[in-house]
Amino acid sequence: MISKARMSLAILPWWFCIAACSHTPEPSLTRPADLVQKSEHAGRPTTTLPRALETKIKIDPASFGAVEARAIGPAVMGGRIMSIAVHPDDPKEFYVGTASGGLWRTTNGGANFRPIFDEHNQSIGALAVDPKNPKVLWVGTGERCPRNSVTVGDGLYKSRDGGENWARVGFENSERIAKIVINPRNPDEVYVGVLGHLWDDHPERGVYRTRDGGKSWERLLYVDQATGCIDLEMDPKNPNILYAAMWQHRRSPDFFKSGGPGSGLYRSVNAGKSWKKMQHGLPEGDLGRIGIAVAPSNPKRVYAVVEAEKTALYRSDDRGGRWLRLDSSFNTIVRPFYFSEILVDPKQPDRIYKLGMLLTVSQDGGESFSSPFTGGAGIGNVHPDMHAIWINPENPDEILLGTDGGVYRSFDRGNNWFFLNSMPLAQFYHVSVDNARPYNVYGGLQDNGSWMGPSRSISGIENKDWKTVGMGDGFHVYADPTDPDVVYCEYQGGNLLRYHHSTQETKEIRPYPEQGEPKYRFNWDTALHLSPTRPGSLYVGAQYLFRSADKGENWIRLSDDLTTNDPDKQRQEESGGLTIDNSTAENHCTIVAIAESRMDGDVIWVGTDDGNLQVTRDDGKSWTNVVSNVPGLPKGTWVTGVEAGRFHPAQAFAVFDGHRTGDKNLYVYRTDDYGQSWTSLATDQIEGYARVIRQDLVNPHLLFLGTEFGLYITVDGGRQWARMTGKFPKVAVHDIVIHPRDADLVVGTHGRGVLVLDDITPLRHLTAEMLEKDVAFLPARPSVIKVPGSEQAFNGDDAYVGDNPTSSATITYYLKKRHIFGKLHLELYDPDGNLIKKLPGSRRRGINRVSWQMRKKPPKVPPSPQLAAMGLFGPIVTPGVYSVKLIKGDTEYQGKVELVLDPDSPYSREDRLLQQETVWKLYNMQEELGFLDKTATSLRDQARGLSAEQNIEVELGTRLRQFADKLEKLHAEMVETQEGLLTNEQKLRRKIIDLYGAVSNYGGRPTGSQLQRVKVLSAELNDASKQLHGYLEDLKDLNAMLLKNKLDVMKRLDREEYQRQTDAGASMPGGISMRRYGRMIRFW
């Protein structure tokens, strides 16, 4: 086996050598030492680029096996919420539908939430729970608030079992579903308001109905290919009366238009058979988005917020016959395309809640509004921008509110709010990392600012671990690699900022036009890029490319206008339709992607939102637009990402995205010649339009692609792709970064925060050759030995805690097929070749990961009714290369796992060695005590048993009993004997174990007192031993007497046999749950 391993090294593909010599900031941990060594013989990269070996093995999500994402949040700021639905009889069970972070369920009033829709589209436009059978759920995908960053849905789904299994029941191509209304009297009759496509004409829109629970649908109301249904209400007393709001609207990359002749407010009085457009009292001319609410306590009362030239709230007191124009205050008319939800109090027809930038409430039937927040004005402590609301019909004081920043709950009609911030819904636009230990993740969020947070924290990554570094909508955020005080970030429209940790001040550093220069055009999501070859230099893109070498104090312009500069696409000031909405969201003809080659800093790639892909090879002196060389790409398609090749300056990857014009195709390309020619890497294994592509830092054929529907990985340069499904929802991936030191893949999702794939080393080695083996060990990064820290915190179940990376060593191997029959386990040998641990194996197809705690066996301590928790853990092992044997049936496979010291450990070698020595001394003392005690109790029991024999001589009986009593007394001096949990009884056993724990818990030098205490306890142990051996003098005599009496002699415990007897540790709570795990044992 070993010789085979050497052979495979010799035939390693040559690109490993290139990979090894190319410079990463800290190459230490990323690749096996043998590969690094080999690099010394490798020269500069040649102009020929490597090709990946082909494999016949099918690569699918299962090939990645146990490689799973680790969610680290943040949940501190929530994310955009679209819908809330509550169990009809049990309000502590409710569902939260999010704009792009999936569907969540709580069964405990929000103490915690679980995602229940992760394998499906993550954008939830509408939700409904069957009022008669609450296990039946309806989910309409595709959010209904069509802002610039909105995603697309893929139909209507139904579950019959509370969200465990889902079936799609229609509207696959509708993109957006705004409303689901179930007839409470006949729940198989369901009405669906389909909003439809945002960027193009499409006929799948309007009001639909099923009468057979979703098997078949009929379209009841349709206007045209540009007009969809944005709201739908049913009369609470008469299910034949329906109100529908139809909305004509359209987005393009550079423009938004709300309103048109298609819009209107409709009513049907015959269950949708016919509809009448309501006009009496409503504004004339084109209408825009309309929100409807019927008063549950008085169905004659209907409210509508109507976007028009003069947007206002309208009220009808005759079921929509005539309308009265009422309030038109700020929050009623603000951004109608984004906010038009209204809701009437379940019991008071005059009390209305208007969701907008704020929450405002009318108590006089819509005549006037004010804020319910304590103080009567302002926004209170709730994130602005409200989209979803639920009011408890039985207790209208209780409200759930969904905002752009998560879910809030009030028990006093909205005066004061709880924040249910345990759902990680952060909508990242971009992520980056620094080189701290543990490294930090940085990124900007839709409507939720710019943040940084650690990749590991003491008890998991909690909300408190995240730090805000910028406001507004956040996008790119970078730590300055040359100045630990500085973070660069931005808010919408190119507002560039430099944040200082030391003062918490923010300096505005955007470039301004020189005299005579045209106005700079910055995208909503302005491109910002850190130079890989000029440490600390920063690029920013307007229509021109700029670079600053002095932290943004001064900028040099590196280009002319790199966009098409098409005046027809620069209409942001007129954008919005009926309501002008110039938020910079439609800024166009701008640079949106920048990539400097780390192989050659003069090579810079720039992509623009209007479809130019430019490259310079002379640091900006001349530029070539290479987009026309890209085959099969429609003209003007938005460049979502450029990745300069990591191994050769001529290589680059580019992804394009046309969804903003209705083109949802996938465009992924590679060039090997500075853009002269391009090869498509798209396959039909990939779903969704492309957002970002990254090339691995070590293996040039390992590529990561983020699309609107997840993360995709190829190990062969793009021939085969497979989606990452291990704890990775089908969420939009907007950015990816590979940590150069730790080999983690850090993924910025738009809806589920940051997901980390810890240690992608095994993926780097998942070559064609490996894939074809039945069993193969895969390299993993060395595991760091660290004494665990601790913290006291009882935060409740509503506190979000992101997972930490494993603190165990990871043994990684590949299985071509699942192992079902015969044994499979692992054996671990220390560097001296001693077997130290047997571990159960993992058996799935693809990559398997087995954790090893890096500890020796816990000491064998004397049994006592008192659990000694400190004695449940074995000593931590020492660094080195441990060999691993995988035993599968009759075949053994050889691998290894490398353990290294914590590089941050502040302790000297001498101190560490003294600590280990002391731990082992105490370990051995525990084992010695265990043996002494067992010897004593075993003889005690034998003596007691024999003394009870019939016909025993009186003298012998008495001597045996005395012997047993002496041993019992000694046992009680060594070991705690009281039952009960808090006796605090401390005998020698407890004293040694506690000291063992205390010394083990600190990686450095033990204290002088501790070292002294070891001596004292050692002397006590010696005394106990002497005492026992004194008693054993009697044994000879007693055994002689027993022989005379023809009785069995008493046997002394043999040390070896004692050590062989199995025993191990488990903590008390573990003991409780583990006893339940035992219930799974059976023959099938």
Partner 1 sequence: MLKKTALVISLVCFSLSVKAVTVDELVKKNIQARGGLKNMLAIKSVKMTGKITSGPMEMPMTLYWSRPGKLRMEMSLQGQNIVQAFDGKIGWMIMPMMGSSEPQKMPKDELDEIKTQAEEMIEGPLVDYKKKGHQVELLGKEDMQGTETYKLRIKLKSGKERTYYLDVDSGIDLKTTEKIKRQGIEVVQHSYLGDYQKVGGVMVPHTIDTKGADGHGAQITIEKVEINPKLKADLYTLPKKQEVKKEKTEKKKTK
CA 826 – CA 830 distance, rounded (Å): 13
Question: Token pair for residue 380?
Answer: 């209170």
Give residue 444's identity as a one-letter amino acid code.
Answer: G
Residue 427 DSSP symbol: B
Pairing mode, strands 137-141 and 124-129: antiparallel
Contacts of 780 (CB under 8 A, 6+ apart): 759, 761, 762, 810, 811, 812, 897
Restricted to residues 368-427, the positions that interact with partner 1 (CB under 8 A) are none
SS3 378: coil
Q: Pick from 832, 979, 1033, 1056 the residue near partner 1 by CB under 8 A.
A: 979
* Pattern 93-132, partner 1, x by CB under 8 A: --------------x------x------------------
Piece of the chain touching partner 1 by CB under 8 A; list 271-279, 465-473, 707-715, 977-985 = 977-985
Asked if 942 interacts with partner 1 (CB under 8 A), we say yes
CA distances from 266 to 249, 290, 344 (A): 17, 11, 19
Q: Does 7 bind partner 1 (CB under 8 A)?
A: no
Interface mask toward partner 1 for 847-886; x: CB under 8 A: ------x-x----xxxxxx-xx--xxx-------------
Cα separation, 748 vs 429, in Å, equals 7
- The region of 239-247, 561-569, 712-720, 834-842 touching partner 1 under the rule CB under 8 A is 834-842
User: In this chain, which of 77, 391, 431, 824 binds partner 1, going by CB under 8 A?
Assistant: 824
Nearer to partner 1, 299 or 841 (CB): 841
> Minimum distance from CB of 755 to partner 1 (Å)?
15
Please choose, out of 308-316, 575-583, 695-703, 1066-1074, the segment that lies near partner 1 by the rule CB under 8 A. Answer: 1066-1074
The answer, yes or no, to whether the previous bond of 74 is cis (omega within 30 of 0) is yes
> What are the angstrom distances between the C-alpha of 570 and each of 93, 146, 198, 587?
48, 20, 20, 7
By the rule CB under 8 A, 840 interacts with partner 1: yes
Provide the 8-state DSSP code for 170: S
CB of 252 to partner 1, least distance (A): 27
Nearer to partner 1, 518 or 1070 (CB): 1070
Q: Which is nearer to partner 1, 411 or 1058 (CB)?
A: 1058
Count of residues in contact with partner 1, rule CB under 8 A: 68
1065 forms part of the interface with partner 1 (CB under 8 A): yes
Q: Of 271-279, 461-469, 574-582, 817-825, which part binds partner 1 (CB under 8 A)?
A: 817-825
**How far apart are alpha carbons 325 and 283 in whole angstroms?**
9
Q: 716-741 as b/e, with b when 16 or more CB fall inside 10 Å? A: bbbbbbbbbbbebbbbbbbbbbbbbb
Q: How many CB atoms lie within 10 A of CB 611?
A: 22
Stretch that binds partner 1, among 697-705, 756-764, 769-777, 1072-1080 (CB under 8 A): 1072-1080
Burial class (CB in 10 A: 0-12, 13-18, 19+), 324: middle
Cis check for the bond before 438: say yes or no (omega within 30 of 0). Answer: yes
Q: Smallest distance from the beta carbon of 821 to partner 1, in angstroms?
A: 5
- Residues paired with residue 573 on neighbouring β-strands, in sequence order: none
Among 427, 699, 720, 937, binds partner 1 (CB under 8 A): 937
Residue 1077 interacts with partner 1 (CB under 8 A): yes or no:
yes
Task: Pick the closer one to partner 1 by CB: 88 or 841.
Answer: 841
Q: Which stretch binds partner 1 (CB under 8 A): 391-399, 746-754, 815-823, 891-899?
A: 815-823
The site string for partner 1 over 183-202 (x = CB under 8 A, - otherwise) reads: --------------------
Interface with partner 1, residue 1066, by CB under 8 A: yes
Output the smallest distance, CB 997 to partner 1, in A. 14
994 part of the interface to partner 1, by CB under 8 A = no
Phi, then psi, of 157 in degrees rounded to 5: -120, 155
* 790 binds partner 1, rule: CB under 8 A: no
Which of the residues 52 through 81 are near partner 1 (CB under 8 A)? 60-63, 65
Bridge partners of residue 848, in order along the sequence: 813
For partner 1, give the closer residue by CB, 280 or 825. 825
Q: Is the Cβ of residue 623 or residue 963 nearer to partner 1 in the bound state?
A: 963
CA dihedral 716, 718, 719, 725 (to 10 degrees): 90
Sheet of 418-419: strand order equals: 386-391, 399-403, 406-410, 418-419
Residue 941 makes contact with partner 1 by CB under 8 A = yes
Q: Which is nearer to partner 1, 10 or 1064 (CB)?
A: 1064
Q: How far is the CB of 629 from partner 1 (least distance, A)?
A: 33
CA-nearest of 866, 900, 1050 to 960 is 1050
Residue 1073 lies near partner 1 (rule: CB under 8 A): yes
Separation of CA 828 from chain center = 32
- The first and second tokens of residue 249, run together, are 């609207």
Please say which residue, 172 or 1037, places its beta carbon nearer to partner 1.
Answer: 172
List phi, psi (to 5°) of 959.
-65, -40
Binding segment for partner 1 among 16-24, 511-519, 610-618, 1071-1079 (CB under 8 A)? 1071-1079
Query: How far is residue 479's CA from residue 536's CA, in Å, rounded to a whole number?
Result: 9
Q: Is 1082 in the site for partner 1 (CB under 8 A)?
A: yes
Whole-number minimum distance, CB 980 to partner 1, in Å?
Answer: 5
Candidates 845, 896, 912, 961: give the one binding partner 1 (CB under 8 A). Answer: 845
User: Residue 561: CB partners within 8 Å, gap ≥ 6?
Assistant: 543, 544
The residues with which 577 forms a beta bridge, in sequence order, are 258
Quick one: CA torsion of 206, 208, 214, 218, rounded to 10 degrees? -120
Minimum separation from the CB atom of position 133 to partner 1 (A): 17
**Closest separation between CB of residue 509 and partner 1, Å?**
44
22 lies in the binding site for partner 1 (CB under 8 A): no
Residues that bind partner 1 (CB under 8 A): 60-63, 65, 107, 114, 817-825, 839-841, 843-846, 853, 855, 860-865, 867-868, 871-873, 937-938, 941-942, 944-945, 979-981, 1061-1068, 1070-1084
